[in-house]
Structure formats: C-alpha cells, structure tokens
Amino acid sequence: MSKADEEKKSYASVFLLAVALLLVTSVWIVWDDQISRRPWKKYQYEFSQTQIERAKAEVSAEEERLGADEEYQKVLADLEAARDKTTSGATASQLSELASKENKARVAFDDAEFNLRLVKSQIEEAWYELEHAQLAHADTTSQRAHLDELNAKKAEVEEEVAETLARLNQILSEQDEIRSVVDSLEKKKEELEGAKSRLEQKVDGMVIQVGPFDFPKIPKIEQVVLNEFDRNAYNQPVARVDRCTSCHAGINKDGFEDLPNPYKTHPDRRLYLGKHAAEKVGCTPCHQGQGAAVNSAEQAHGHVKYWLDPMYEGDNVQASCIGCHADVRMDAAEKIALGEKLFEQVGCIGCHLVEGYGDLPKIGPYLGRISAKVDADWLVDWVKNPHEYRPRTKMPNFYFDGDEAEAIAGYLLSASADESEAWLGEHDLPSGIDSGNAALVAEGERLVDSLGCRGCHGLAPGESPALLGEGKDIAPNLSNIAEKTNARWAYHWVKDPRGYSPVARMPSLRLSDQEAKAIVSYLMTLGEAATDDSATRARLLEADNVVIGEALVRKYGCAGCHNVPGMESESRIGVELSVFGSKPLEELFFGNRTDIPHTWEDWTFNKINEPRIYETERIEQVMPHFALAESDIDAILTFLASRQEGYVPKEYRPSDYDNEVTLVEGRRVIERYNCVGCHVVSGRGGAILAHYEENPTLGPPILTGEGAKVQANWLYGFLQRPVPLRPWLEVRMPTFGLSDEETAAIVNYFAAEEKIDNPYVHVDLASLSPEYVEAGELLASDDYFSCWTCHQQGDRKPEGPKEGWAPDLAMAYERLNPNWIVDWIKDPQALMPGSRMPSFYDFTDDSPDGPDDVLGGSDLEQVKALRDYILTLHAPTGAVAQPAVATDAEESAPEPAEMPSEETAAADSSAASEAQG
C-alpha cells in the first residue's frame, strides 16, 4: 500500500467501533459494579418502598380517622371561629387597642428600667468617690450626701419600674385572656393530631425529600461488627462482620410478618432479638452462614463449597444456644435441651467421648453380681434383643444372633459368679414372701401405689411415669418383672439397692421387712414366673462359650455403659464426637448408599435411625440400634450439630453463666435420681402427681422456689438423711445415698434457681426481741390464729386425722429461711397456689387485718412476731433472751432485731425477695 493511499484511508469506522465498545464497557462496568454484584440493593430498595408505602398508608388512615372524628372536627371549627373573632368585630378592635396600650406601657417600662440602670451606675460612681476620699483622709460629707441622694432616687425609680411592669403585665394578661380560647384550641388540635404527626415524622425518617417528591433512601451496606468474636489460624482474636441486614432489612422491625424472606420480620422477634440485641450479637452467631458475604444469597448463607458453617436449617438453629449458654432448659430452646438430655441419658456417652460430657456416670446397671439377679434364659433373650422384653428400654439392640447372645450371657454369668456367690451367701431368701397370698399381694400393691414407686416405674404394660424423650423409660417398666428375676434378689434389692449395686440409682424407701415382703410378693405376680434355669446356666458357663463371650463384650463396648467385671479399664469404643458438628461432608462415610442425600443432616439422621446402614462387605459397623422416635433422633442431631470447633468468648456469653453452670450440674443429679418423677422442680416434672388429682396435698411437695424457702444447711442434711416432714403423707421421701458432691450440687441448684448467692442462714435466737416472741405466741394461740388447730409442734399433735395436719413448726428454726417465713405468712397462695394454708393478712391494701390489741395492730409487725416466735419453738432452753426489765413505756416495745440473714446476706435477701415477689 502506498503512502498516499494510507493518508486517504479513513479510520472513522474503527474509532466509532472503539468508542462504542468503550462506552458499552464503561456502562457495563458501572452496571456490574453497582447493580449485578449488589443484589442486596434491590432487596433493600424494595423493602424501603414497602415500608414507606405502609407508613404513608398509616398516615392517610389516621387522616381519615381524624376526618371522621367528631371531637377533632369540632376543635377545627371552634378554632376557626375563635380566630375569626380575633381578627374582626369588637374583639379585634379591643385587641388592637390593647396592642397600642401594650406598646406605650412597654416604652414606659423600658424607660424606667433604663433610668434604674443609670442610677445604679451613678451609685457605683458615688461609692468610688466616697472610698477615694476616705483613703485620702479627706472630708467625705458631700460624697456621703450625694450617695444618700442617689439611693433615695434609686428607690423612687425602682417603684416606677414596678409600676410600669405591673401595668404591662396587666395589659398582657388581658390580651392572653382574649387569646386563650385560640391557644387552648390550638393545643387541643395539636394533641389530637399527635398520632398523625408521629406517623408523618416516621415517613420523613424513611425518605429523601426533593421538592414535592420523595424517594427511598439510597441502599447501603448494613453491618454489625463483633469484636474479637472469632480466632484466626494463628489463634489470634479477630472480628466477625455480619451484613445480613443489608438484605434482611425488616428482620428487626415489627409489622412485616406477612412479607416473604428476605423482607419479613423475625418469626419470634420479641423473644430472640429481645434477649439478644441484634446490633451487638448480629445474626451468624446463632444462624451460621457467611455473614460478610453480600454478593449472592448462596454465598451469604454459606451454601458454597468449603464454607464449613452453612446456615442451620429450621430448628437446628437451636444448636447455637448451647454455644453461649451452659443451661439450655429455657423457652424456645426445647429441641437442643432435649437433644442434650437424650445424649447424656440414653447412653451415647458410653461409647462416644464428647468434651464436657466425659465424666458422667455410666448409665447402665451394675453387672458385678448379675448372676445373682437374673434368670439365665431371660438373660440370653435380653442380650439378643432387649426391645422384645421391654420396648422402651434404653438398652439398645446389637443384632446379636443366638450363639453370640449365649456367649455374652455366658461371660457375664461367669465373670460375676464369685461376687454373686458371696453376695447370695449373705442374703438369704426370707420366709414370708408369698405371691399366692392374695391379702399379702394386695398389701404389696397398695404399698407400691402409695409409697412413691410409681414416680419412676410403670407397672402395667406400656405405662410410663417417667419418659425420656418420646419413647424411652427412665426407670424400667415392671409389668413382667417376674420373668426376669427372683424373690430373693428382689427382696434384698428393694430393701437396700446399694447393698447389691454400689452405683444403684434406685433409692432405699426404708422399707420394713414386712413391707418389703409384701412388695416382692406383689411384684412376683407381674409376668410369668421364670422357670428353672440350671440347665441353661450349665450350658452357658462352658469355657469355650465364655471365651467367645468375653471377646464380644469387649468388641461391642458393653463396659461403656455397664460396670462389667474384668473390664474395669476398657475405654470408649466409639469415635470422639467433640467437634462432630464441624465435620466436613468429605469425612462422612456413606458406604454404598446412593439413596441417601449427601448432606451432614441426612448422614447423621440415618446413622442414628439405622446404625449399620453404611456397612459394606469390607467395613463392619458395631453401633447398636436404640429404636428412638424420629423426634428424639432429630433432637440428638441438633445436639451433635452444636459440637463445633471454636468457642464463644466469655464477653459474648450470658452474664450469669456461672449460675447456669450450677443449674446444669444440679439438674444432672436431679435427673439421674429422677427427683422430678415425684417433685415439680423449677416448674417441671411431678409425674406421680397424676395419681393425686383428687387431693394434691397428699402428693409429694412441689419444690419450685425451694431455694428461698429452706436453709441450705438443713437441705443438705435432709437430702443425705431424709426425715418425715409431713406425717400425713403416705408417699415416702427415699434415701438416695447421695455423695457429698451430689448433695451439694442439688443444694446449689435450688439456690441458683432463686439466684441466691449465699443460701446459708444462722438464726441468732438471743437477738430476737422477747416482746415479739411473746406477741407471736399470743397470736399463734387459740385466742387469735389457732395455729395449733392444724400445725404440729414436736410431740404436740393437732386434733383430727393426719391428712388434716400441717407441718411441724418446731422444725422451722433449723429448716426455714426467716425471710421466707414472713413472705409465706403474708401470702401463702402467692408462693404455693392452692395451698391449704390460708392467708391471715391481706397486704394488698392498707387496712389492718390482724387483731388491733397486739403490737399496735400493725400487720407487718405481727407477721414478724409470728416468725420470731416460730423460730423459738425448737430452741435449746436458755437460748432465748429473757424479757428485759422495762424502765419506761417506750423501751417495753423495742423494734424487733433484724434477722441475721437480712444483715449478713443483704445481697441474697434482696435477690430472694425479688424471686419470691
């Protein structure tokens, strides 16, 4: 191509193309940066629009309401009329006349005031002249005269100021009077329009106003920064950033419950966001996901590869509760609470170590003397499939075949033979147990019904007073107990469970020999009695069989739940689950299963539901089948999901975390011994009370609020060695043989429940006012409240049948918290609704209820006097101060000494009264 051609060639089209490309690219860049990669803008914009629309609708609804409101319309009309009146006619001319008068008066007042200021400065000057002359030792007569003259003038001018001011005020008030009609109407109008103007302000806060138009605000990233919430790879604290509300703009606003996600209000906003301020805690600490991501919902929700914490689905979000709270038995955390309870109590902890749950006692019965306890034929059947004998037992099914079951039974009988022999040697079959004696059997049944056995045990097939989750019994159902064991064992067991098993959870009911014989006679009628098992025993005890059995017992980890003789040092056989919730999908073995969706939830659910489901020809699995209800599996799954790597820093945990730990530790003991089978504790439990609907006062006492009621030292002693408190009860508080640690855990639990820091009390009887004690005695007597009509005092028993009696007041000194006594007498129904104790006073009004001739008729002083008197009832002689010799009338009625607990435990008493109030 020649040069000339080159010069002639036009590049216009190329430039045009390039410019067009550049333009398109620029537009695309802006589009992509501002719109495509900012999906949250659209959500926020749409939400804003809806929000504004709704707020405006509220404004117009309010306007409409005002339009129809007669009062408002009348105010408007009156106001207009009043205004008209002030702008025309006689009133108007009066006003303008007043206005000119006001002007004149103001000028006169200003002049007078100016004069006053002038005179004041002249006085200052005169003082200066006078002092100057004094310092120069000159004659000061003229200066003093001048000063006096000025002072006189000042008084004159002051008077003038007052006069002119009074006149001005007079005119002003005349004006005000005329205008006051308008003013008051205006105020009223403003007030009636209050709701409307508040709504209008709300709209103003939402929009950008441009002239007559308004627009939704420009969307921006909304974020919460949680300082030092996470740890990086070097274990240094780093912040977490949650931007969830950039899209979920309505999540913390009421009134958008009807919208779809991401606009809608949190489904339980008051509870969850009320307790956890969203602006501090953000969203991902509960919901998981990738809080900082805003490019797409998938990214933000953590549903992307290699993000380890995708959002929890549904109720599984409760897995997060336990990350911050030690105690999850609370509102709206039922699922995680159930999951934790099941995990602890069904037996998972026997094979799987989980940090924080490693030291709990084994859940299965003691097998050290099993040979003395069970029928050999029964044992083989039981090992083979326990669910056949007891569908709701916690013992799982290991799918053993007949030979395996025989081998395991053989080992257990053989390994426990010596111990069993020794035990049997000391525990003969007593005479007098007779299941054929109808009267004895009936007596046994009556005892079982009335002593409290039914708080834990079901006696008819399928009956269960104490369910664990949906389908597990806490204590065995006894409807077929005769098949399993024999009268000899049962007799010694019910008399002293710890005498057979050092780890027995079954308590002693302190049965007499005769009671135990009757009970066992009855129990042995339940189910078909076992037949002679000596042939089976001999077969099982063959050496070969026992050796095979030992290997199986070891392989299947029986020692995880049971104390198996010879296997005291076996460790857990299952994998550790401490961080199972963080386990990536890649590490979960699905075997050959292609029908199960590859998610953590599906894997886990199916594993618990059918433990051998992922078994292949090469990979054997040994986990047994628990036959749990689906809802229970789901709850355990939620608990497992909560087992995450990392931990929540202390400052993000509840402020009363330590109190929660105390509650958890206490509750473990309370549940281990199933105290809640009989007692309502913290508002839960008390299954046995179903048998006392006719007369609830004959059932075991309700223990909600016990921490504020009794003295810790007394409760500790009572738990270790219970004594009958309520002689009218047939149901018997058993002796559990609690260890010191267990007892303390229960005592601390009740204190923690009432948030009492120091539950100990000492009553110093010497500090009680003798006058108050005397007054209390008088009040308690038959002349006034007749307390002894129902209450006992030591050996002094009330008239009538026992079921009409009330507790022994002589125990109050050792047992009751003095503050509680006051609260109780003040209003028993408030502390225990339905109590038979009537209220003698009504503190909801000021009118006195007590007798007016005791302690000046003061109700509160009388209650204190009753307390003081009750506390002395068990006092050692001489512990109470004798009435002092009164020297004058005032001293004869001193203030009662404050209870020591009120002084020394000021902190806890306020907490206690709060809890009781």
What is the C-alpha to C-alpha distance for residues 410 and 284, in angstroms, rounded to an integer? 54
124 scored as a contact of other proteins (CB under 8 A): no
Region binding other proteins by CB under 8 A among candidate stretches 266-274, 630-638, 826-834, 888-896: 826-834
C-beta closer to other proteins: residue 673 or 785: 785
Q: Read off the amino acid at residue 149.
A: E
CB of 108 to other proteins, least distance (A): 30
Q: Do residues 650 and 321 lie in contact, with contact meaning Cβ atoms separated by under 8 Å?
A: no
Map 729-782 to HEC letters. CCCCCCECCCCHHHHHHHHHHHHHHCCCCCCCCCCCHHHCCHHHHHHHHHHHCC
800 scored as a contact of other proteins (CB under 8 A): yes
What is the C-alpha to C-alpha distance for residues 634 and 347, in angstroms, rounded to an integer? 16
Q: Do residues 318 and 638 lie in contact, with contact meaning Cβ atoms separated by under 8 Å?
A: yes
> Using the rule CB under 8 A, which residue among 785, 813, 820, 869 binds other proteins?
785
Cβ atoms within 10 Å of 432's Cβ, excluding its own? 15
C-beta closer to other proteins: residue 760 or 788: 788
848 scored as a contact of other proteins (CB under 8 A): no
What is the C-alpha to C-alpha distance for residues 769 and 897, in angstroms, rounded to an integer? 6
Here the tokens at position 322 are 């336990």
CB of 846 to other proteins, least distance (A): 16
Q: Residues of 625-649 as b/e, b for ≥16 C-beta within 10 angstroms?
A: bbbbeeebbbbbbbbbbbbbeeebe
C-beta closer to other proteins: residue 307 or 784: 784
The sign of the torsion formed by the CA atoms of 795, 796, 802, 803 equals negative
> Using the rule CB under 8 A, which residue among 836, 857, 891, 895 binds other proteins?
836
802 scored as a contact of other proteins (CB under 8 A): no
786 scored as a contact of other proteins (CB under 8 A): yes
Region binding other proteins by CB under 8 A among candidate stretches 427-435, 699-707, 744-752, 777-785: 777-785
Coil, helix or strand at residue 685: strand
Query: CB burial class (10 A; 0-12, 13-18, 19+) of residue 101?
Result: middle
Region binding other proteins by CB under 8 A among candidate stretches 394-402, 565-573, 741-749, 797-805: 797-805
C-beta closer to other proteins: residue 754 or 823: 823
Region binding other proteins by CB under 8 A among candidate stretches 264-272, 555-563, 643-651, 778-786: 778-786
Region binding other proteins by CB under 8 A among candidate stretches 30-38, 566-574, 762-770, 794-802: 794-802
C-beta closer to other proteins: residue 596 or 790: 790
CB of 912 to other proteins, least distance (A): 23
Give the DSSP letter of residue 796: B
CB of 828 to other proteins, least distance (A): 7
Per-position x/- string for 174-213, each x denoting binding to other proteins as judged by CB under 8 A, each - no binding: ----------x--xx--x----------------------
Coil, helix or strand at residue 145: helix
858 scored as a contact of other proteins (CB under 8 A): no
Coil, helix or strand at residue 474: coil
What is the C-alpha to C-alpha distance for residues 471 and 632, in angstroms, rounded to an integer? 8
CB of 771 to other proteins, least distance (A): 20
> Using the rule CB under 8 A, which residue among 471, 828, 848, 900 binds other proteins?
828
Region binding other proteins by CB under 8 A among candidate stretches 343-351, 652-660, 776-784, 875-883: 776-784
What is the C-alpha to C-alpha distance for residues 803 and 66, in angstroms, rounded to an integer? 66
> Using the rule CB under 8 A, which residue among 835, 858, 904, 913 binds other proteins?
835
Phi-psi region of 813 (alpha: psi -120 to 50; beta: other; left: phi over 0): alpha
What is the C-alpha to C-alpha distance for residues 858 and 748, in angstroms, rounded to an integer? 36
C-beta closer to other proteins: residue 381 or 808: 808
789 scored as a contact of other proteins (CB under 8 A): yes
296 scored as a contact of other proteins (CB under 8 A): no
Number of chain residues interacting with other proteins (CB under 8 A):
29
> Using the rule CB under 8 A, which residue among 84, 298, 842, 903 binds other proteins?
842
C-beta closer to other proteins: residue 110 or 191: 191
Here the tokens at position 882 are 């004798």
Instruction: Name all contacts of 382-385 with Cβ < 8 Å and 24+ positions apart.
Output: 382/484, 383/408, 383/409
Q: Do residues 730 and 450 lie in contact, with contact meaning Cβ atoms separated by under 8 Å?
A: yes
Angle made by CA atoms 351, 356, 360, in degrees to the nearest 5: 55
Contacts with 873 (C-beta within 8 Å, 6 or more apart), sequence order:
793, 794, 809, 810, 812, 813
C-beta closer to other proteins: residue 542 or 803: 803
> Using the rule CB under 8 A, which residue among 790, 831, 881, 893 binds other proteins?
790
Q: Read off the amino acid at residue 735.
A: T
Region binding other proteins by CB under 8 A among candidate stretches 337-345, 392-400, 462-470, 830-838: 830-838
C-beta closer to other proteins: residue 696 or 883: 696
Coil, helix or strand at residue 87: helix
CB of 806 to other proteins, least distance (A): 9
> Using the rule CB under 8 A, which residue among 839, 858, 904, 913 binds other proteins?
839
Region binding other proteins by CB under 8 A among candidate stretches 152-160, 568-576, 673-681, 782-790: 782-790
> Using the rule CB under 8 A, which residue among 838, 876, 878, 917 binds other proteins?
838
Q: 245, 242, 345, 342: which is closest to 288 by C-alpha?
A: 242
C-beta closer to other proteins: residue 724 or 804: 804
Coil, helix or strand at residue 92: helix
Q: Do residues 52 and 207 lie in contact, with contact meaning Cβ atoms separated by under 8 Å?
A: yes
CB of 799 to other proteins, least distance (A): 5
C-beta closer to other proteins: residue 527 or 798: 798
856 scored as a contact of other proteins (CB under 8 A): no
Query: CB burial class (10 A; 0-12, 13-18, 19+) of residue 825?
Result: buried
Angle made by CA atoms 823, 827, 832, in degrees to the nearest 5: 90
843 scored as a contact of other proteins (CB under 8 A): no
> Using the rule CB under 8 A, which residue among 272, 307, 652, 784 binds other proteins?
784
CB of 867 to other proteins, least distance (A): 17
Per-position x/- string for 138-177, each x denoting binding to other proteins as judged by CB under 8 A, each - no binding: ----------------------------------------
Site for other proteins in 54-93 (CB under 8 A): none
Q: Read off the amino acid at residue 836.
A: R
Contacts with 138 (C-beta within 8 Å, 6 or more apart), sequence order:
none
C-beta closer to other proteins: residue 781 or 910: 781
C-beta closer to other proteins: residue 437 or 835: 835
Query: CB burial class (10 A; 0-12, 13-18, 19+) of residue 346?
Result: buried
837 scored as a contact of other proteins (CB under 8 A): yes
869 scored as a contact of other proteins (CB under 8 A): no
CB of 830 to other proteins, least distance (A): 11
> Using the rule CB under 8 A, which residue among 212, 425, 801, 917 binds other proteins?
801
C-beta closer to other proteins: residue 419 or 827: 827
Q: 326, 332, 222: which is closest to 269 by C-alpha?
A: 332
831 scored as a contact of other proteins (CB under 8 A): no
- Site residues (CB under 8 A) for other proteins? 184, 187-188, 191, 782-786, 789-790, 798-801, 803-804, 828-829, 833-840, 842, 851
